[in-house]
Structure 1
Amino acid sequence: MSNMIDVVVLAAGSIKQKLYLARYGFDCPALLPINVTAISCYIFDFYLQTKNVRIHLAVDEKHLDAVKKEFCYYEDKVSYISVPPAEGVIETLKTVVRKLSMQKEVKDIIVNLVTTIPVEFPEKNEVFISEKLQKNNNWSSVILRTDSVDFCFKNTPCEERGYAFTGVFRTNKTDLCKAMEDKKLFANDLLSVIRGLGSNTNILFKKTHWLDCGHESNYYETKMDLVTSRSFNHIRIDRTAGIITKSSKNTDKFKNEINYVHMLPKELAVFYPRILSEVRTNNDFTHVDMEYYGYPTVSEYMLFWQLNDDGWQRLFEALEFILNLQKKHKYSISHKAFQGFYYNKCLTRISDFEKQLPEKYQQLLKAQRLNINGQEYQNFRVLESRISEKLDRLYNEDDFCIMHGDFCFNNMLYDLNSGVMRLIDARGSFGEQCIGIYGDFKYDIAKLAHSVIGYYDYIVNYKFYLRQLSDTKFVYSINLRPWQDFLCQQTNSLIKQQGYNPDDILFLAGLIFVSICPLHSDNTEKQVMIYLKGIQLLNDFVGS
């Protein structure tokens, strides 16, 4: 197709050359984590919003297999170009353009350094520069004068302030190849290509918000810029004061979560960020200011960090300590409320999920049986009565106490150096009839199990491959980390230490999986993957 735009994402080299303090389990820049998402995924998702775009990720030959495995979800959406070791980014770009031209007709090209997350789509001959005017010799920049442009290349002394070059530009192949023939190119500075383009083409420098992850100072700012929460519509962080402002249109849910923190006893309140302002409402939004902790989530550690066993054991000891404190504060909840929270809520959620499913997946909930990875499983409707009966057996007055309500890895902030842990985004209710801090202790442990043993964090962050072979037949794989078995062992040990049978907790985790499907309506494949995982767990443990 002649109107196709080829997006070249340059991701050769090493993370360690850019982020010296990082302790990540990967070396390839394409896998650089921004919170719980690899940076390339932000770039892929941005460009995939536009039609007639082909995305090509260029990585070192030695990283190709790991990258393909990590981005299995994007298998039919992104192509990969392996490049040999190079002197710099320009040699890599030359290799990529040459290989692309051998495969297909290439005319319109967008070049995007993997360390920049785009926020707007470039028009033809546009070069994106930062909107901030600043002086820094660690990156390339341009000085815009009335009738000319001066180029300041990185690591070259420049006394004037300039606009940083973001590493994103759009041109055509002919002009790009001509610019790369310039004998004055700096091997590792893409800005010298822009200078070459400017001598043959009318390029336009456009100021934009620069989400930069290629420099240590900017990387951590970008991580804060991209902090999100499914519970809130908007989040703003005051970096200097350490304050996070959360806003939501779901006023009742928001107030429940805030009241939850107010109701906690002091010994547990210390594990939650302090509330620094009263809840206030304007323009249909409810706002609150809270203490901000810049610690990584435990999800990020699991998905990207290379921790030793001692580090993980220390973390699980912190979880056990918090859970033991919660158990000390007993409560009473009726059997009806218990069934309503687990069973009735699940039925309602599945009904909601069914309405969201496109025609392609209509049999997912209607069929009696599903074939998942070559094995037959009974569907939820077939299991309903057995699920209700097992819930009856699991009701226990002694299990009701303070609970978080969403005790999974993405709601746990942990500082590896100090061992300090903070919990965020508590549920604030055990169903509509039990607003407050109390609930079923087993639910918190099941939430933890669904994170670790159920691979929830992998699924919601697209570390899976899923294919539908027929209306009721599916195959999937999940790209688990080498340390996952150890984390599962730690989780099973914690479950037993708390006095529970892991089979019962994993049954509840399966119920959680099928009930959260409608909450992930942003992506149908993800919903289906969550449902299939839930069905597997329910089949495995409903009878135990």
Structure 2
Amino acid sequence: MTVRLIMSGALVGQELAAEFGPLPPAFLPVGVQRLYELQLKALAGAGPVHLVLPETFAAPPADLTRLAELGVEIIPAPEGLSLGEAVVYALNTIGAGDVAVHLLHGDTLIAEPPLHDHDVIVAGPRSTEYAWAEMAIDADGRVRSLVNTPAGEEGHEGWPIAAGYFAFASALDLLRALTRERGDFIAGLNHYLAGRAVQAVDAADWLDFGHLTTFFQSRLAVTTARAFNTVRIDGLSARKSSEDAAKIRAEAHWLQAAPPRVQLYCARLVGFGLEQGQAYYETEYEFLPVLSELFVYGAVGRKPWLRILASCEELLRALAATRGGGCGDAALRALAVDKTLARLEAYARAGGVRIDAPLSYAGRPCPSLLEIAERLVPAMDLASGRTACAMHGDLGFSNLLYDSRNRRIKALDPRGAIEQQPSVYGDLRYDLAKLGHSIVGRYDQIVAGRCRLTRDGGDYDLAFEPVACQPWLAAALGDLAVDGVSGLSEPVRAVTVSLFLSMLPLHADRPDRQQAFVANALRLWTELDR
């Protein structure tokens, strides 16, 4: 038997907490999942895993369910314990006896850990000037001792560091060593090393998420892109390419032609062209959190979120101040009416779905999807006479980064075209609706699977995991007004509903997600129809 512990019993340090809120390391967001999910994939097939968490941390219900599904037992640890004390506490709580013990630091991901070896420590190269535990190793690979090297010091030439995975053959010997050294993890390991032969094994691939710099470098390594795009990131730039050359050229044109005041809030274009038959453009890569990560998985407080929304408002004002491109109503009709109806028809053809059949939401009768799309048109106020203005066209949370140092968002992936014609211009209501589709539409939670869909024939219901910031973010969006348009005005909310209808054929590879989008469109429609 082997006891496997993921040691995540203390909250992240201040620099990471300032970005993501007070989370245990294993709960940090990495794309559309938490770090623990990646860790458990690496440990798959190795038997039961125990996750040590601070006893004061209230894990969201969806995470408790997910961990239970994965067979993980949570061990709540008292606050203030050192790492060594937390290991002793966890082993005593389990009461496993003298078995093998494998430890993984909660901020570490080892791609191929030595799951079935004992008395080994995974070794890796030192890549930054943070504090690390260096290892003195004999010529035969035996670890003689570990030494803490403070941050900023060069350390010992050629000494590898302990990468965060430790496999001990004897839980009792480990307990004795840590207890003798009063819970000092490194001193306890050195005591263990004095009595047992422990080998260093090189890490095939390991990532450290424990510091701000290493977090973003590590997250870069697990970055994924949507299926219809190819994104290549080298740490300096992000190159987006596609066989859809018109789409790529339109986005590059937008980034190049956007007004200077708008460009302050957008990714910086560094090049574009053709390569191997595909169009591409490159933007400067930003080591910043994505708003979708913060919304779904973060624990950021009210004040930081209001600063984020204030920066979104600044961008919207800069966009609205740039007039031109004809009639805003015409642009909005093309994007929110014509496109939605065409996409609904494509959804019906591809899936053999009836879009003219009446539906219901939580027992309340609703029109068909087609009728909803048609009844949304009057609510959009397409005879407003608004002049077109500069428009990003895809201001959802998944396309917005936030730099907490200068308190400014960075917007990625502009739409760049209306009816396949490159254009910087569009309608403010569409940008506000895209922002609303993340805040009130909760699009990012659906994509992350943090909701529960129930369906009985044509009756749908959708329950979302509670997100602490969502109610007052929605209220703040309602208070936001740009160029006379409220963030939750009827036209904006109507466009938000249409967005969920129009994205249905884009997710044909995920029928479960398509049905969640249908349910969400019905939910938003019933709220608008009231």
CA separation in 1, counterparts of 2:393 and 2:192?
58
Aligned with residue 466 of structure 1, among 437, 442, 452: 452
- SS at 1:168's partner residue? strand
Q: Is the 8 A contact 2:99 2:170 kept in 1?
A: no
Task: Measure how far apart 1:12 and its partner are.
Answer: 0.4
Tell whether the 8 Å contact from 1:326 to 1:402 is kept in structure 2 after alignment: yes
Q: 1:486 aligns with which of 464, 472, 492?
A: 472
Which residue does 1:422 correspond to in 2? 410
Could you tell me which of 390, 393, 400 is aligned with 1:412? 400
- Work out the CA distance in 1 between the residues paired with 2:176 and 2:463: 46
Q: Which stretch shifts more, 81-90 or 198-207?
A: 198-207
Counterparts of 1:198-277 in structure 2, within 5 Å, are 200=196, 203=199, 205-230=201-226, 232-238=229-235, 243-252=236-245, 253-277=247-271
Choose which of 342, 345, 353 in structure 2 pairs with 1:344: 342
* Whole-angstrom distance in 2 between the partners of 1:197 and 1:55: 25
The percentage of counterpart residues that share the same residue type is: 17
Aligned to 1:403: 391
Superposition map of 1:341-380 within 5 A = 341-349=339-347, 354=351, 368-369=358-359, 375-378=362-365
Q: Which residue of 2 aligns with 1:141?
A: 134
Partners of 1:460 and 1:234 in 2: CA distance: 19
- 8 Å Cα contact 1:10/1:113 also seen in 2: yes
Cross-structure match for 1:387: 373
Of 68, 71, 74, the residue aligned with 1:80 is 74
SS of corresponding position for 1:62: coil
In structure 2, runs of 5+ residues without a counterpart are: none
- 1:95: which partner in 2? 89
2:292, 2:323 → 1: CA distance? 24
Separation in 2 of the partners of 1:514 and 1:540? 16
Note if 1:39 corresponds to 2:39: no
Q: Secondary structure at the match of 1:205?
A: strand
Q: Matches of 1:272 and 1:218 in 2, distance apart?
A: 24
What pairs with 1:17-32 in structure 2 (closer than 5 Å)?
A: 19=15, 22=18, 24-32=20-28
Give 1:404 shift: 1.4
Q: Distance in 2 between matches of 1:451 and 1:351?
A: 28
Structure 2 CA distance for aligned equivalents of residues 469 and 55 of structure 1: 34
Distance 1:538 1:208 in 2: 51
How many angstroms does 1:417 deviate by? 4.0
**Contact residue 379 and residue 535 of structure 1 kept, 8 A:** yes
1:125 touches 1:204 (CA, 8 Å); kept in 2? no
For each residue in 1:413-458, what CA deviation from the matched residue of structure 2 results, as whole angstroms up to 9, or x when unmatched?
3333434443211122234x44433444422211111111222233
Question: Which residue of structure 1 aligns with residue 108 of structure 2?
Answer: 116
Tell me what 1:162 maps to: 159
Q: TM-score when scaled to structure 1? A: 0.78
Asked if structure 2 preserves the Cα contact closer than 8 Å seen for 1:261 and 1:269, the reply is: yes
The structural deviation recorded for 1:376 is 1.6
Q: What is the alpha-carbon distance in structure 1 between the residues aligned to residue 11 and residue 73 of structure 2?
A: 20
- For 1:461 and 1:267, locate their aligned partners in 2 and report how far apart those are by CA, in whole Å: 33
The secondary structure found in structure 2 opposite 1:153 is strand
- What SS class does the counterpart of residue 480 from structure 1 fall into? coil
Q: 1:81 to 1:367 in 2, by over 3 A?
A: farther
* Residue of structure 2 equivalent to 1:14: 11
Opposite residue 174 of structure 2, the aligned amino acid is A
Cα separation, 2, equivalents of 1:465 and 1:336: 31
**CA distance, structure 2, for counterparts of residue 27 and residue 398 of structure 1:** 45
CA distance in 2, matches of 1:118, 1:294: 22
Q: Residue 535 and residue 473 in structure 1: after superposition, are their counterparts in 2 closer, same or farther (change >3 A)? A: closer
3-state SS, counterpart of residue 164 of structure 2:
strand
Give distance in 2, aligned partners of 1:23 and 1:402. Answer: 30
Q: Check conservation: 1:247, 1:285, Cα contact below 8 A.
A: no
Partner Cα separation in structure 1 for residue 30 and residue 335 of structure 2: 40
Task: Give the counterpart letter for 2:5 in structure 1.
Answer: V
Write the distance in 1 (CA, Å) between the matches of 2:256 and 2:310. Answer: 28
Structure 1 residue matching 2:161: 3-state secondary structure? strand
Write the letter of the residue equivalent to 1:154: N
In the superposition, relative to structure 1, how do residues 476 and 195 fare at CA in structure 2: closer, same or farther (>3 Å)? Answer: farther
| Cα displacement string for residues 201-232 of structure 1 (whole angstroms, at most 9, x for unaligned residues) | 77551223331122354234334445554374
Tell me the alpha carbon deviations over residues 94-137 of structure 1, each in whole angstroms, 9 at most, x when there is no partner.
433444457xx997865321111233354411756454256968
From 173, 182, 189, give the equivalent of 2:177.
182
CA distance in 2, matches of 1:188, 1:519: 53
Q: Give CA deviations for 1:67-110 in whole Å, capped at 9, x if unaligned.
A: 546555555334322123464223323433444457xx997865
Question: Over aligned residues, Cα RMSD in angstroms?
Answer: 4.2
Checking the alignment, whether the CA contact within 8 Å between 1:281 and 1:287 is kept in structure 2 is: yes
Aligned length: 512
Of 431, 436, 456 in structure 2, the residue corresponding to residue 444 of structure 1 is: 431
Counterpart residue number, 2:499:
512
Name the structure 1 match of 2:301: 306
Retained in 2: the 8 A contact 1:24–1:306? no
CA distance in 1, matches of 2:86, 2:510: 34
Aligned residues of 1:180 and 1:196 also touching (Cα < 8 A): no
Once residues 487 and 11 of structure 1 are traced to their aligned partners in structure 2, the CA distance between those partners, rounded to angstroms, is 30
Distance 1:197 1:244, change over 3 A: same
Assess if the C-alpha contact under 8 Å between 1:129 and 1:208 holds in 2. Answer: no
Structure 2 CA distance for partners of 1:419 and 1:202, relative to 1, 3 Å: closer
Task: Write the distance in 2 (CA, Å) between the matches of 1:198 and 1:474.
Answer: 61
Q: Name the amino acid aligned to 2:266.
A: Y
C-alpha displacement of 1:41: 4.1
Residue 61 and residue 215 in structure 1: after superposition, are their counterparts in 2 closer, same or farther (change >3 A)? same
> 1:182: how far off?
3.1
Whole-angstrom CA distance in 2 between matches of 1:136 and 1:417: 21
Query: Using a 3 Å threshold, how does the CA distance of structure 1 residues 181 and 345 change in structure 2: closer, same or farther?
Result: same
